[in-house]
Amino acid sequence: MNIPVLGLCLAACLLMGCEEDVAGPDPFQFPYSMWGVLNPLADTQFVRVFPIETSLSPGLPQPLDASFISEDLSTGATLAWRDSVVVDTTGVVGHIFYRPFQPEWGRQYRLAITDANGATSQVEVDVPEQATLVLHEPDTTRNVMLSATVQGEIQQLIQSEVEIYVSYVVGFSPPPIAVPIFDFYRHVVPYDEFLRRAGNDWTINIDLERNYQRIFSDVSRKENFIASQGIRLLLVEFRVIVANTSWMPPEEGFDPNILVQPGVMENVENGFGFVGGGYRLGRPWTLPFEVVEKTSFIPNR
């Protein structure tokens, strides 16, 4: 399933039970709740659908008596989706509608599901334009600074983060060889507040030395860490989600326990839920040994 690749917290919503959807004011007037993402980088699209019912039940392990279509509002072309029935370990039945196709950059789509009585829940989704992630050469004037720019006609960037993957020595094999034994640590830092916009471009700057100090503080609390052997830098990667303007989470951010509550970041008409448009960009830096040596990290030779 391609939706979790986005790293969006909606992925968690897609796997949660339907009891959240029957809460709120007068919910039973609507036929369905819909959750998903249209991802122009994925070759298959998925939307999780919950029928809104008057009582909670595990559901029957069979397709819904409903039709689900997507329509390209630029061309009028429509596609029929299929219901993929899933049953979790507790016996709860879920419905994930899917269709193999790649949405076009910058297009608007309407997704609609209609039950046997003709009641329809629908949503219009703007697919973002194509953007490019550019990694710049490290600036070693003072501390080693890494910078990246996201270029294109971008509506919004969300959930940007930097991952720094390191290894450190926790012991040695028995003599006479005494080969170092390594453990590993993954340091992920949210960077939304550090994004800077200039025209259509968004830029981020990463201070490697400052991040080293945070990592050293964390690793120092690990059992058997041998500080004299240093911390080896294995990976530095920047990731970000290019999203449409519908992504407007509450102050608590992308907490799936909050997002599934009715009235929070909803855009489905005659129903509940949220279907956004977006895709993830991400690239690692390839840092020369001489650049890493200008930091407190040790190059991974």
Q: Could you tell me if 192 and 158 are in contact, meaning their C-beta atoms sit under 8 angstroms apart?
A: yes
CA 225 – CA 296 distance, rounded (Å): 16
DSSP code of residue 245: T
Q: CA of 174: how far to CAs of 139, 170, 177, 180, in Å? A: 42, 13, 7, 10
pLDDT, tens digit, 9 for 90 and up, residues 275-300: 999 999 999 999 999 999 999 999 99
CA 225 – CA 246 distance, rounded (Å): 45
With bands split at pLDDT 50, 70 and 90, how would you rate the model's confidence at 60? confident
CA 13 – CA 6 distance, rounded (Å): 13
Q: For the chain, what's the residue count?
A: 301
Residues linked to residue 274 through DSSP beta bridges, in sequence order: 35
pLDDT, tens digit, 9 for 90 and up, residues 203-245: 999 999 999 999 999 999 998 999 999 999 999 999 999 999 9
Token readout for 102 is 């790649």
Tell me how far the alpha carbon of residue 130 is from its chain's centroid.
17
Closest CA to 127 of 251, 243, 299, 283: 243
